[in-house]
Structure formats: structure tokens, C-alpha cells
Homo-oligomer: A and B are copies of this chain.
Amino acid sequence: MSDPNPPPAAAGPVPPSRQARRGHGRITLQDVAEVAGVTSITVSRYLRDPAVVAADTAARVRDALAQTGYVPNKQAGLLASGRSNIVAALLPNLSNSIFAETAQGLSDGLQAAGFELLIASTGYSLEREEHQLRALLGWHPAALVVTGRRHAGGALQLLAAAQAAAMPVIEIWDHAGAERGQRRYRHTQIGFNHHEVGRAMAAHLMQAGHRRLAYVDSGVAEDYRAHERGLAFADAARAGGAQVTVLTAPAGDAFDAGRQVLGELAPGGARRPTAAAFANDHLACGALLEAARRGLPVPAQLALLGFGDFSISRQLSPALSSVQLPRYEIGRETARSLLDALRLGKPAVSVALPWTLAARASTAPA
């Protein structure tokens, strides 16, 4: 099966009359118009809605378009119309399937409506977020999507200004109540409450009978959502009469980090935790695999609970209990909300999306 599609005679873009232009000799509306024997505005109209030009004109324009291989210049179009069909999104990263799925949801929803998605990643750094935000704003997007509710000072200003200029701004992957003081703006949030999740994780382990718990926090210092879950986990555990230790995973490969952390969880002694919750599934899987290697029975000696429900998690044995997140739905719902705001003028409203704790063998009660 070699190249099934031999390129048809690409009769090199037809370069019409105009020669010495400042531009790069690309085919413009003007060029197409000359070929079709009309003016550029007619071609422009045909492109927007073929029905508004006369049938025979339309035919000529269609031919000219095909003949020239015209590609509209978005810079010019957006500049002239003053409105942009760009939605800019800032995510911590894309290599992680978590945010990649959210990006996919956004893309699916927006593309169908003719909007373009411009994505930048921050690597969890607030500083980079501010920098990227500034760069994205240069495209003059119609709306803004940022991750989480914590931003650098400069970013906050930019967001506030955007908001003030009637640009919809949505914070995703979080859904928190109002915070006291400091805030001079209030954005729409589409996500879930990390405190709730942290509490639910603790409750799940306590229901399975555990009274000595550990939370293994993310090694990414800026992942405040993981820290929040940890705080809520610890609070709920203590409120329920359990002991809690909070550890921080080392940086680097998350599986390796999880393995290392197991060393701190596993050593004998009466005060050793009997159950551990993790900031993400990779850490938990690392610990699970290391426990298997050491012959430490899970969940009998140590119950393990992840977060994120990555695809590997239910494949291991024992299968890892984890929190299933509306990864894709966050993106999809955000797109929906944005489209309502941009086209119908409905102000975007905050939405708490559902998550579930999938109880599997790694936390099964004795």
C-alpha cells in the first residue's frame, strides 16, 4: 500500500497580474476576484454565504477559488472584522492525559461551532502562566480559559481587565467557594471541589476501618489543588478520629517517586499507616508495584487510594481504587458555556461537575 493519492496536477498557484507588492505574493481575495471577474468583496461574500451571490457569479467564484488555491488570511480577516473566533486556553501541561482530555473536550465543542482553540501550557508555573497569558492576549481572543483559581499578580490584573472588557473568562478544574479578601474579580468556575474530594478520600479509607492514614502529596510544589486535597484529607481524617501523616513525593518520574515513598510508609512499627491516599494515580501505582515487589500485601497490610483513575490503574493487581474525574466533560462543558456567552450573550455560570470514587481491590475492607 504505497502512496494511494498521487498529487493531482498542482498547477502551481496562479499568480495574477499584481507583481511588486509588499506582501509575499500569496493569493489574495483580490487575485481570486480578478480571475472570477468580480471585485474582492463579492468573493468575500461568497465565502461567508454562497447564497447571497447570484448563481452564475457563484459558479465563477467557485472556479476561481479552486483554480487559485486560495487560503484566506486569518490575520487580515480577524483584524478587519474586529471580532475573533479564538478561544485561548492555559493548561498546566498536555503530556499528562488529564489535561489533554480536557483540551480535547474544549476542541470538540469549539471546533463544531467554528471557533479556534489556542492552547498554551504553563508547566504548573504561575510565572509562566502570566507570561503565556500575555502572549495569548496578543491574539485578542474572544474568550479565555485558565486552569485553577490561583494566578500570579500580573495575571490577575490581565484577567480582571479582560473580564472588564466583557471577555468571558472561565477557570477550570476547580470549584471553590468565595475566598475572603484580596479578590477584585470573580470568575466562572467549571470543575469540582478539591476539598470535597480530599474529604471523600479520607472517608472512604476510614469506612474501610483504617485509623492511621497517610496522604502522599504531589512533588510539584505549584500543584495547589493536590495540596488542597491533602489538607482536606487530613482535616477530615482528624475530625474522624484518625491519625494522619502527610508526605511529599520526590520530584521526577512519578512511578519511581511512588516506589520511593513506599519506603517511608512500609517500615514496621505500631504507628505505621495502614492506608495511604495519593495526589495522583502514577504515584499510587508506583507504591502498589513496590509493595508487590516487597511482598507487602495490599490492602491487607496497606490500603492504597489514587486520584485520577488513569488507564493503567485498574489493570494492576490488586486494582487501584481511585477517583474518577470529569476530565473530558470539563472541557466540553466549558466550551458549551463559552458558546452560550459568546453567541447568545448568556453570562457563563459556575458548574460543579460530578466525580466518583471507584472502590477497587486496593482499598477493599479486610
Residues of A whose CB lies within 8 Å of any CB of B are: 1-13, 22-26, 49, 69, 71-76, 78-79, 82-85, 93-95, 97, 100-101, 103-104, 107, 113-114, 116, 118-119, 121, 134-135, 137-140, 142, 150-153, 156-158, 160-161, 164-167, 179-180, 182-185, 224, 253-255, 259, 282, 285-286, 289, 292-293, 311-312, 315-317, 342-345
Contacts and interface: CB of A to CB of B under 8 A. Distances in A.
26 contacts: A3-B150, A5-B343, A7-B153, A7-B157, A7-B167, A7-B185, A10-B157, A10-B161, A10-B166, A11-B164, A13-B161, A23-B82, A24-B82, A24-B165, A26-B140, A26-B165, A69-B158, A73-B140, A75-B75, A75-B84, A95-B104, A116-B135, A285-B312, A285-B315, A289-B315, A293-B317
Contacts of A100: 93-95, 100
B76 A134 contact: no
Contacts of A10: 156-157, 160-161, 164-166, 184
Chain A: interface secondary structure?
loop
Number of copies of this kind of chain in the complex: 2
A142 B7 CA distance: 8
Contact of A6 (B71, B83, B107, B140): B83
A325 to B, nearest CB: 14
Contact of A166 (B7, B118, B180): B7
